[in-house]
């Protein structure tokens, strides 16, 4: 006795006809579920929705590939900040969130200095702390050292110490802080007491929190008139943005 023939073992012509019918049925079902829902006036197809969503995610002013929109407004610069330049007359305010032990910040520092020199009174540069303590154990102590220098010598004292900290980045520590303070003419006893007092810890933490809320996720993070430029970028890119703002 021959084994019973299954349905899919039937004559070729029958199988071909069945295959065509199945194909048409599947196409009709796909049209109903994927396209029919979008048939209502004003609705978009699935592919159009993907394109629309992609456009929404793009920066509104894509000046460069690494321009990121802030998550919220960056805290406004005030006279309480450490500033190079004049906030009152500057057309462009650069607010940098930085870490004294970050090598990218060290390479970015001369770029910022050059921009302030080039644009003169049109640009003001604000420095704020963003210590990455999990990978840079000397970042917060260095930030405190800069604050203590500012305590004694004001704005010029802060920036002088900031420049020196970046120039001595590979040897940051108590001995280096005290040596730099001596070279800068700070009162040694007051400076040493300030370093251990903890009086600036809350200021540093507050600045970092403000930067994080505004979209900073790493250092350096520089806001140019409110627009976040993450990373140490080429000076030509920053110069172009500043010229556009001016």
Q: What is the DSSP string of 96-155?
A: EEE-TT-HHHHHHHHHHHHHHHHHGGGEEEEEEE---TTT-TTHHHHHHHHHHHHHHHHH
Residue at 102 is within a domain: yes
183 and 230 belong to one structural domain? yes
Adjacency order of strands within the sheet including 123-129: 82-84, 123-129, 92-98, 221-224, 227-230
Measured distance CA(104)–CA(100) in Å, rounded: 10
Q: Are 60 and 133 in contact (CB under 8 A)?
A: no
Q: Are 215 and 228 in contact (CB under 8 A)?
A: yes
The pLDDT of residue 54: 26
153 and 41 belong to one structural domain? no
Residue at 73 is within a domain: no
pTM of the model: 0.72
Q: Are 105 and 166 in contact (CB under 8 A)?
A: yes
The number of folded domains in the chain is 2
Alpha-carbon 99 to chain mean position? 13
* Tens of each residue's pLDDT in the chain, 246 residues: 323 344 444 444 444 444 444 444 444 444 433 333 333 333 333 332 322 222 222 222 333 345 555 467 999 999 899 999 999 999 999 999 999 999 999 999 999 999 999 999 999 999 999 999 999 999 999 999 999 999 999 999 999 999 999 999 999 999 999 999 999 999 999 999 999 999 999 999 999 999 999 999 999 999 999 999 999 999 999 999 999 999
Residue at 3 is within a domain: no
């Amino acid at each position: 006795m021959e084994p019973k023939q299954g349905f899919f073992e039937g004559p070729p012509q029958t199988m071909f006809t069945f295959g065509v019918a199945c194909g048409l049925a599947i196409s009709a079902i796909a049209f109903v579920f994927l396209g029919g829902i979008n048939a209502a006036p004003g609705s978009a197809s699935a592919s159009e929705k993907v394109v629309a969503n992609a456009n929404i995610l793009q920066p509104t002013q894509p000046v460069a590939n690494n321009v990121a929109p802030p998550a919220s407004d960056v805290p406004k610069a005030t006279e309480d900040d450490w500033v190079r330049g004049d906030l009152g007359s500057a057309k462009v305010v650069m607010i940098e969130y930085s870490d004294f032990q970050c090598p990218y910040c060290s390479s970015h520092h001369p770029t910022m200095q050059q921009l302030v020199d080039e644009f003169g009174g049109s640009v003001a540069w604000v420095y704020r702390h963003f210590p990455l303590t999990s990978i840079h154990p000397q970042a917060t102590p260095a930030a405190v050292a800069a604050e203590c220098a500012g305590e004694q010598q004001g704005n010029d004292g802060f920036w002088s110490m900031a420049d020196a900290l970046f120039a001595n980045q590979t040897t940051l520590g108590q001995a280096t802080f005290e040596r730099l303070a001596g070279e800068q003419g700070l009162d040694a006893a007051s400076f040493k007491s300030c370093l251990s007092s903890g009086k600036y810890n809350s200021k540093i933490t507050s600045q970092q929190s403000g930067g994080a809320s505004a979209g900073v996720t790493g250092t350096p993070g520089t806001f140019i008139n409110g627009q976040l430029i993450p990373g140490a970028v080429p000076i030509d890119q920053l110069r172009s943005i500043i010229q556009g703002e001016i």
